[in-house]
Structure 1
Amino acid sequence: MITALLITWLFIVGIQLIFILLVYSRTAFYRQPDRNDSLLPPVPSGKSTAQTPVQRGITVVVCARNEWENLTELLPMLNDQIYPLFEVLVMDDRSTDGTKLFLENEIAHLSRVRFIRIEKEHEHVTPKKYALTIAIKKASYPTVLLTDADCRPASTDWLAGMVAPMETGTKDISLGFSPYEPQPGFLNLLIRSETLFTAIQYFSLALAGSPYMGVGRNLAYRTSVFFDNKGFYTHKNVVGGDDDLFINEVATCSNTAICLDPNTFMWSKPKTTWTDWRLQKRRHLNVGKYYKSGNKFRLGLLTGSHVLNWLLALAVGLIVLVHELLHTSFTASEWLLLLAGTGLFIVRKLAFWGIVGRISYRLGHTVHWATIPFIDLLLAVYYGLAGIKTLFRRRKKRLYWR
């Protein structure tokens, strides 16, 4: 039994090392193309060189419900983006906090901003997906860039940087990063750590040719992709998934690009209470079961091996302790496996520290490099508990996007 445990541990740690060195490293050492290189793009095969100004225009979409205070800060920042042709379209989803009056009376000086008011909820589709669908139908330009009201762009080059990978005409989707603002406390560290690791996964798998999700706080795609795939039709009644489920359906290795330029980050305000954060995570976890089978397998292998890497290490440590207390010895083969497993575990730990540390540095210093060994264990505990909770979750009351 001890031999089987040690062999399993070696196998699991090996899987983790493969992910770290062959998948995560793609994000760590990815070279973001110079944005200036895409301003005069080469002609894609079979496509015309002519692009009218309207074809190069961008519609920034912000869906908001009771976000008056956030909109007063965000809209001037979006209006001041540096790009030749764009608009900002605000979808006011039945707000009751004064958002309607603000949009009607206070944004006239923001020349790029317009809004559409949604007056009622529709049973055939969830509210946010309805708002996004209307926004995409009413967009003046053929590319949309999505964000949320509680987000803030890192710079006035956010818009230009996010759509730069699409300028050549060979990419239809651009995946961006949306870090959370650092604040004191353990909850904030957990939120930032989980956000970083989620980004590592979707960026790295996209670079490996298997894009599976994006985040709606910072995501661009062509409206033609939306309409060609019937929008949110297959998951129209699922709360959440307007970003990751849609990208899971339409993204391919050839039509998806990523953007790691710090100027394109969209900073977001994190939840400040455990209750609000758990509700947010419930919405996110609720959509994972709708992913494609291949994506679910890869993510399950990735997170499962992360958890088992630590769980089996703990089991092996307890066995060693028991042997010491009972003054019993291992066989020669068991010693060999124990030394090999321990060595590989240490290599995996150092590789995780180095690769994830470099990615964190590239992604706005999301977490301090010195905390990464602790975060490694923290994420294993988090994924383990989240997995157990998902398995035993009962039918819950209805979820809302806001």
Structure 2
Amino acid sequence: MVFTILFYTFVVATAIQVVYYLFFCSFAFEKKKEKNGDVNIPISVIVYIKNNADILTEYIQHLVKQKYHDFEIVLINNASTDNTLDILEELQKKYANLKVVDVKNTEAFWGNKKYALTLGVKAATHEHLLFTEIGSKTLTENWISEMASNFSQEKSIVIGYQKLKRNKNSLSNLFIRFHHLLNNIQAFTFTKFGNPYKATNHNLAYTKSEFFRVNGYINHVNLFIGEADLFIKDAATKTNTTYTTNVNSFVGARKKITFKEWISLQKKETILNSLYKTKHQFLLRLFKISKVVFYILAIYIAVINWVIALPVVIGYFILQYVALGKAASKLQEKNVILLLPFLDICFVLVQISIFISNQISKPKHWK
């Protein structure tokens, strides 16, 4: 009786996972999207900066080389304590399309990133805004052009992709990039079907009109995380949001992320997940829970009767390789899935560890 109940539970968990990966296939095998071929809109590129004097000159010299007919760069200096402002003022003299917004700390918004970004948006000259941060760098000279080409009369929010830096000799780096890939496949697939919920401020574009329509970050201004995700929650609709997987639109992280740093980010993600719309919370949790149940019961059933479990597990991994392999190729991340079964099992173990850790010491809102 117990075996029968667990077996049917295993079947249900497997079916849920299959549906999700078939869902991901629709993104992975999507044909090249038609875009606005005539891009004439001026763009304000908004860059968030805080204590980055050491890399600032190199970063700006690289960014101004973008091949686009009309763009300004709005540099937000959020109360830096080094000589960032001095360097910005010198660069502004050198490049005519630079605009510096120097944000001073106030009692109400001390060190608040969203407050600084709001001032940057207000200072921007143009209606169409493209956000990035100095922690990332453009990978081609056509980044602005590619992101801008996705704007249309209907689409006013464009979600881009950020590649994480690769460390060839690090297994933890491989896992982090696998987790990042899986998260982005989910985010892009949901957006494709009219349910956007996630973005990164390292590569995100939207209009001023959308920003002011929802009063910017007003609903979560005192929460020191989620400037992109929670804006998407407030502003994105079924029809006004799109994404791009064109390689020219990618940005890349400047530094490798350590496993300790990544764990800290996952704790923040736990908070963000709890602030998503209810349907997104449910669907994301269902994916993780069904995956955990699948592996636990696959082991249990294999011990009792491996003939039943083995074909199901093999079929599951084949479907994973097809869906994730094609998506990884589209996002220029082919090497990430070389150890797919191992990485997927690690994903389950890490999710269980984070859950247990949060039960022992519940994360608090970053304020």
TM-score (norm. length: structure 1) = 0.85
1:125 Cα deviation (Å)? 7.7
1:10 alignment partner in structure 2: 11
1:287 and 2:272 correspond: yes
Q: Which amino acid aligns with 2:62?
A: M
Matched residue SS, 1:165: coil
Match of 2:126 among 141, 151, 163: 141
Farther off after superposition, 270-279 or 99-108:
270-279
1:364 Cα deviation (Å)? 1.6
2:143 alignment partner in structure 1: 158
1:344 Cα deviation (Å)? 3.1
Write the deviation string for residues 301-321 of structure 1: whole angstroms up to 9, x where unpaired.
Answer: 112212222122123234448
Change (3 A) 1:26 1:74: farther
RMSD of the alignment, in Å? 2.1
1:175 alignment partner in structure 2: 159
Indicate the structure (1 or 2) with the bigger Cα radius of gyration. 1
2:349 alignment partner in structure 1: 381
Q: How does 1:173-322 map to 2 (within 5 A)?
A: 173-183=157-167, 184-320=169-305
| Counterpart Cα distance in 2 of 1:148 and 1:211 | 22
TM-score (norm. length: structure 2) = 0.93
1:384 Cα deviation (Å)? 2.5
Change (3 A) 1:163 1:390: farther
1:59 alignment partner in structure 2: 44
Change (3 A) 1:382 1:121: farther
Match of 2:95 among 110, 114, 117: 110
1:32 alignment partner in structure 2: 32
Count of equivalent residues = 365
2:340 alignment partner in structure 1: 372
Q: Any gaps of 5 or more consecutive residues in structure 1?
A: 41-52, 322-337
Change (3 A) 1:395 1:211: closer
1:392 Cα deviation (Å)? 3.8
Q: Any conservation in 1 of the 2:166–2:256 contact (CA below 8 Å)?
A: no
Q: Which amino acid aligns with 2:341?
A: P
Q: How does 1:351-362 map to 2 (within 5 A)?
A: 351-362=319-330
Change (3 A) 1:249 1:366: farther
Q: Any gaps of 5 or more consecutive residues in structure 2?
A: none
Q: Which amino acid aligns with 1:29?
A: F
1:124 Cα deviation (Å)? 5.1
Q: Any conservation in 2 of the 1:126–1:236 contact (CA below 8 Å)?
A: no
Write the deviation string for residues 103-127 of structure 1: whole angstroms up to 9, x where unpaired.
Answer: 1124432332221111214435861
1:271 Cα deviation (Å)? 4.5
1:399 Cα deviation (Å)? 4.4
| Counterpart Cα distance in 2 of 1:132 and 1:260 | 25
| Counterpart Cα distance in 2 of 1:366 and 1:119 | 44
Matched residue SS, 1:80: coil
Farther off after superposition, 184-193 or 223-232:
184-193
Write the deviation string for residues 45-99 of structure 1: whole angstroms up to 9, x where unpaired.
Answer: xxxxxxxx7xx21111111111122322321222111112111111111112221
Change (3 A) 1:146 1:111: same
| Counterpart Cα distance in 2 of 1:227 and 1:266 | 26
| Counterpart Cα distance in 1 of 2:72 and 2:295 | 49
1:68 and 2:69 correspond: no
Q: Percent identity?
A: 26
Q: Any conservation in 2 of the 1:356–1:372 contact (CA below 8 Å)?
A: no
Write the deviation string for residues 338-374 of structure 1: whole angstroms up to 9, x where unpaired.
Answer: 72x5433322211111110111111122634422222
Q: Any conservation in 2 of the 1:162–1:220 contact (CA below 8 Å)?
A: yes
2:114 alignment partner in structure 1: 129
Q: Which amino acid aligns with 1:6?
A: F
Change (3 A) 1:187 1:270: farther
Farther off after superposition, 279-288 or 244-253:
279-288
Matched residue SS, 1:220: strand
